[in-house]
């Protein structure tokens, strides 16, 4: 790495600058974490898709992730309790998605606890983001 870039990066870190992250960076971060305990781990659209649609039997009001985000992630969802609109979860339709690890962690934590009854693992988060990046056709 050349010195100028190195200094620029160091000053960014030193300033604690909150710069935008990308869905790919966040995905790689979770995948890397998952690979520490499962070296063969590779994020899967299919696993993410079935996780998102699965009814966990924890909450009757919000049985699955689709309860609020809907079945088509390039379209708006609707909060099952408040009725508020939720912007599309897929980065394909909403460029603000998966650009802040703090926001992503906050909502994974809350939503996984509510729907799944526990926090999601790094592997599950990687699968989910991989799916959100590739939501395919309406299910």
| Separation of alpha carbons 50 and 38, rounded Å | 20
The answer to whether 27 touches 15, Cβ cutoff 8 Å, is: no
Residue 98 engages ligand HEC in binding (rule: CB under 6 A)? yes
Decide whether 11 or 50 has the Cβ nearer to ligand HEC.
Answer: 50
Cβ at position 93, least distance to ligand HEC in Å: 12
Decide whether 11 or 96 has the Cβ nearer to ligand HEC.
Answer: 96
| Separation of alpha carbons 11 and 59, rounded Å | 46
**Cβ–Cβ contacts within 10 Å for residue 127, how many?**
28
Residues in 48-67 at the binding interface with ligand HEC, rule: CB under 6 A: 62, 65, 67
Cα-Cα end-to-end distance for the chain: 45
- Which residues contribute to the site for ligand HEC (CB under 6 A)? 62, 65, 67-69, 79-81, 86-87, 97-98, 103-104, 107-108, 111-112, 115-116, 128
């Amino acid at each position: 790495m050349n010195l100028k870039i190195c200094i620029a990066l160091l000053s960014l870190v030193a300033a604690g600058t909150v710069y935008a992250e990308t869905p790919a960076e966040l995905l790689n971060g979770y995948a890397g974490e998952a690979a520490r305990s499962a070296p063969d781990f590779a994020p899967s659209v299919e696993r993410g898709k079935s996780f998102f649609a699965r009814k966990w039997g924890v909450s009757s009001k919000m049985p699955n992730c689709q309860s609020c985000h809907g079945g088509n992630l390039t379209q708006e969802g609707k909060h099952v309790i408040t009725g508020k609109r939720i912007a599309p979860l897929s980065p394909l339709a909403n460029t603000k998605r998966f650009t802040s690890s703090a926001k992503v962690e906050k909502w994974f934590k809350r939503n996984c606890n509510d729907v799944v009854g526990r926090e999601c693992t790094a592997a599950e988060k990687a699968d989910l983001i991989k799916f959100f990046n590739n939501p395919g056709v309406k299910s």
